[in-house]
Structure 1
């Protein structure tokens, strides 16, 4: 029995040594990748915002200016493994996302906008790869299924694993391009250490349209050329081991301007992840980050030390067991 236990300890020790040696090059790298089948929902809320409310009234298209209203934006993300060729799944993923924004009007939610996008990204760097039929929606609330091919750049959903204190490129869906986002400080969110990044955009013209003059002034007739001017200050709280967003806020100033009139708010105000979304993110990704850090930083040492102790213990039992065997004439 002593010999069996000794051999078991030596074998177990050898396994720990092997695990320690393989912890970073194999175990860590197999875990530190973007999942193919991601499923997540995040909710952002804004108080006292100014927005435009497009709808139908008596069968005709109408648009109302809403001031000092609460806005709720729900984003859902779903990974679709089938969009990525089997031979590319070790490197790329394809995530589809939908965002529906609503405002509270007379105690009831009304739809403001709906958007959809499909983005392929590198499983380690999280940068857009445009490998697998990327698209964005061009429809509206009445027909949200219209899409067009799209080319993305930079980061869209998350940061890379092992985030550094430096500038990255973050994609803005209004500008339809990636712009620098800068590291500004370190913080703690619900017990999870984070890096805080900030991106300042605009003001910049992003489009123009012919709009009814009555949108700018009650009783005005005819149409005017309205120019959309957009600016945004985006702040992201990023868990640095996994690169996942724990919190995010945007100070948006998206308005229509027309000569001779005061600007009209399309979307103006501060909106960001609600408390539950932040708390859930911190709890889930703070724990996963701790596990990855343990494997990355201590896996080799832990495996070697435990393995060495087990091998030494097994060898000791084996040698002392032999010395205790009775001698025969």
Structure 2
């Protein structure tokens, strides 16, 4: 029994040592990788915003100028493993499709403002764009809502790398269609989860020019006018540093149309950010995963080696300890007992 127990303890000890030695090179690295089949939804909300509401009335396109409205933006991210496989790329890359539907509250009802659809290839560890698998973005409007064009992405698109550093990264901006520096600001806590705060400032930048109805700038005016979209933004991201996941994001957007001789018209102006439910769920889910990854990376080796060594030592002691010699029989021999009774 003693030898069997010693053997079991020695095997358990060797198992713990093996787990400890594999903690960083295998267990941590296999977990610190984004999934191919990502499936997530985040909701952002902005109050007192100014937006343009393009829609169709009696078969004709109409653009209403809304101000002081609530805007809700729902973003879904879905991984499509088949795209990577079809492109013949190793599974170090992932292809994620992200759709964003923006809506405004009008007379108590949410009406659609815009819808975008983008496909992005990313490195599964660094989170950087790789453009391996046919990246694209939607360019649809009221006349052709499903139109797309190829896109070359750069920098971080969905998340930061595992093991975020307090430095400057390049973060993709979909309006500029380029990556812009985003700088580390501070360290904070959200719902008990440590986050790094990064800030990206985009100065007013002219984007595309369009032929817009003059009535957009002057009520009752007829004809069209050339208008240029001028875009600026201050983006603040609160990032869980172990996983690189954005726990909370906020944007101060100022996107307006400018035409010579007219006052600028707001396309999207105001502050919008993750709603409370999205932030709380992100902090809960990714705070827990970060704790697990930190334990595996920083403590599992030590725990495995110490606990394993103790178990191996106890097991070896039980296996190698000599068996106790049989105690001498001090009982009176039967013949002696018989002699005393005769």
TM-score, length-scaled by structure 1: 0.97
What is the CA–CA distance in structure 1 between the aligned matches of 2:73 and 2:61, rounded to whole Å?
A: 23
Q: After the TM superposition, which of the residue ranges 152-161 and 78-87 deviates more from structure 2?
A: 78-87
Residue 135 of structure 1 contacts residue 148 of structure 1 at CA under 8 Å; is this kept in 2? yes
Runs of 5+ consecutive residues of structure 2 not aligned to the other structure = 329-342
Alpha-carbon separation, structure 2, partners of 1:324 and 1:40:
64
Q: Tell me how far 1:213 sits from its aligned partner.
A: 1.0
Counterpart CA distance in 1 for 2:7 and 2:146 is 64
Task: Tell me if the contact between 1:113 and 1:141 (Cα under 8 Å) persists in the aligned partners.
Answer: no
SS at match of 1:316: helix
| Secondary structure at 1:28 match in 2 | helix
Q: Which residue of 2 aligns with 1:169?
A: 170
Query: What is the match of residue 224 of structure 2?
Result: 223
Q: Which residue of 2 aligns with 1:82?
A: 82
Question: Which position in structure 2 is the counterpart of 1:232?
Answer: 233
Q: Distance in 1 between matches of 2:153 and 2:247?
A: 23
CA deviation map 1:109-138 (0-9, x unaligned): 100000000001001110000001111112
Aligned counterparts, 1:221-300, within 5 A:
221-300=222-301
Indicate yes or no: 2:46 matched with 1:46: yes
Contact residue 69 and residue 105 of structure 2 kept, 8 A: yes
The size of the alignment, in residue pairs, is 327
CA shift in 2, pair 1:143/1:213, >3 Å:
closer
Shift of 1:313: 1.3
In the TM superposition, 1:132-171 aligns within 5 A as 132-140=133-141, 143-171=144-172
CA–CA distance in structure 2, aligned partners of residues 325 and 218 of structure 1: 109
CA RMSD of aligned residues (A): 1.4
2-structure distance, mates of 1:177, 1:117: 14
Range moving further from structure 2, 189-198 or 214-223: 214-223
Instruction: Assess, with a 3 A threshold, how the Cα gap between structure 1 residues 142 and 275 changes in structure 2: closer, same or farther.
Output: farther
Which residue does 2:324 correspond to in 1? Answer: 324
Structure 2 partner of 1:23: 23
Q: Distance in 2 between matches of 1:168 and 1:35?
A: 22
* Residues 1:189 and 2:154 are matched in the alignment: no
- How far off is 1:90 after superposition? 3.2
Which position in structure 2 is the counterpart of 1:118? Answer: 119
Find the aligned partners of 1:325 and 1:222 in 2 and give their Cα distance.
112
Q: Do structure 1's residue 62 and structure 2's residue 57 form an aligned pair?
A: no
8 Å CA contact 2:28, 2:297 repeated in 1: yes
Higher-Rg member (1/2): 2
**TM-fit CA distance, 1:145:** 2.6
**What is the deviation of 1:141?**
5.7
Deviation of 1:319 after TM superposition, in Å, equals: 3.0
- Distance in 2, matches of 1:210 and 1:63, equals 13
Whole-angstrom CA distance in 2 between matches of 1:9 and 1:141: 71
Structure 1: give runs of 5+ residues left out of the alignment.
none
Q: Alpha carbons of 1:38 and 1:251: their partners in 2 closer, same or farther (altered >3 Å)?
A: same
Partners of 1:238 and 1:247 within 8 A in 2: yes
Segments ≥4 residues shifted beyond 6 Å: none
Shift of 1:325: 5.2
Equivalent-residue separation in structure 1 for 2:110 and 2:325 (angstroms): 84
Give the alignment's TM-score, normalised by structure 2.
0.93
Given that residues 139 and 146 in structure 1 are in contact (C-alpha distance below 8 angstroms), is that contact kept between their aligned partners in structure 2? yes
